[in-house]
Amino acid sequence: MGQPYPPFHFAKGRRRIGGIRRWVAAAAGALALTVGLVTVSPQASAAGLTQVTGFGTNPGNLSMYTYAPDALPSGAPLVVALHGCTQSASDYYAHSGWPKFADLYGFALVLPQTSSANNGNSCFNWFEPGDSARGQGEALSIKQMVDNAVSRHDSDPRRVYITGLSAGGGMTANMLAAYPDVFAGGAIDSGLPASCANSVAAAYTCMYSPPDKTPAQWGSLVRSAAPAGTTSWPRVAIWQGTADTTVQPANATQLRDQWTDVWGIGQTPSRTQSLSGGTTLSVYDDPAGRPAVEVYSISGMAHGLAVDPGSGAEQCGSTGTYYLDTICSSYHTARFWGLDGDDQGTGALPAPTGLAVTGATDTTASLSWSAVVGAASYQVYRGGTKVGTTASTAFTDTGLATGTTYSYTVAAVDTAGAAGAVSSAVTTTTTGYTPTCHTASNYDHTVAGRAYQTGGYTYATGSGQPMGLWNTFTTHTLKQTAPGHYVVADSGCSA
């Protein structure tokens, strides 16, 4: 990480590390994975945060902070958010974007905080079995915070979720495995598979070269950590940058394998979708057609939490060390969990049948399906996100991009407003083509296939328009108006 960090120091009376483990921790920077990286006073608290004491026996020696919007109604959801190393509850509160959606969608936040008394870099001890197993250490402290917050805010115990960054992400995976009866969903940001490590040395292996286990082997680690007989599992979002050199992107693959195996579904995505910030979303549906596991791969992003500062509906957070300006992960995670009021699948109505595409234009897709007895309305989902509600058995989605493939599902909604099971998915591709603009030298245009050269001169591919000498000095803007067809657009190019 480019700077040294001290070795681990644990609170008196907890556990001691032998000389070899101190040496390993010191030499490698005391788990730099765990995002180092904003120096914040561990006891500082941001405006709006409230520290709660006496929340339980607290065997993990953690601090509890909460945030709740004014006039939060009874039965609202609860989100637990775990910071990374050298960070604090207030730091995560200030940068992550979660308070915006707590206010917008109406849910309470719990932000646990560790300290240097537990770990020299204030990391959650995700790699210590005594801190990450059910009923022990830090894991039990977090569970006690959940119990306290559910009582304090009168939250819905069926809608409790957990998310975390790096070391907080590793702890999140372990909490989901140890307490599937507590958490309805989770989000692991730049984190590690559940039970990947049980020592400091093993933690480095997980970070830099995760074990190449089969999906069944990864899944077994979750099943063995959960209470015997568990059959219901949390829905899991996995966030990972492709340029992360601290927690290698292979960890996202292993996390996908782990949680798809737990759900009993394959490792081939049900659908993929391109999002902002160079993000590719891969969705893995459960047998009822609902997203069970989602993987967000962010092209070129290094180690950190994805944020997108701004006032837009899909924007959130603020940049900082290891808070990276790409896409608002908190927004998409909240939507995946249904915190926006998108109540996918909690009702008793069966999934609609006969969903079909009845037509498509360059910007619209039309659907129809068979009626469900007892349905008051229907919710339509594009790529797992609700895009409309209708009382009829037909719907036209508008404002789409040309030449793009979309996936749709539908759920029936009863008179109480609860959506039932989601239908099987159908896909359609809009017509037309979205133009693109490219400014480069004649040489680079040719190398990219947008132009060709003959006799030392350059011509636009498709249109054949002359572009001058074939060299690196002559520059033109080309507009792609159709696949394999470019025209010179030096006077202005709109796409």
| Catalytic residue numbers, as ranges | 166
Among the listed residues 436, 487, 437, the one whose alpha carbon sits nearest the alpha carbon of residue 466: 487
Largest CA distance in the chain: 82
Centre a 10 Å sphere on the Cβ of residue 393 and count the other Cβ atoms it contains: 18
Strands 457-460 and 466-469: antiparallel
Q: What angle do CA 282, 259, 263 make, to 5 degrees?
A: 100
Beta bridge partners of 63: 113
Question: Please, are residues 191 and 173 in contact by the beta-carbon 8 Å criterion?
Answer: yes
Beta bridge partners of 272: 282
Alpha helices in 31-166 (DSSP H): 89-95, 98-101, 129-132, 137-153
Strands 78-82 and 160-165: parallel
Among the listed residues 306, 299, 300, 263, the one whose alpha carbon sits nearest the alpha carbon of residue 283: 263
d(CA 26, CA 17): 12
* 127-146 CB burial, b ≥16 within 10 A, e <16: bbbebbbbebbbbbbbbbbb
Phi and psi of 259, rounded to 5°? -85, -30
Alpha helices in 451-494 (DSSP H): none
Among the listed residues 395, 394, 392, 411, the one whose alpha carbon sits nearest the alpha carbon of residue 352: 411
Question: Please, are residues 168 and 93 in contact by the beta-carbon 8 Å criterion?
Answer: no
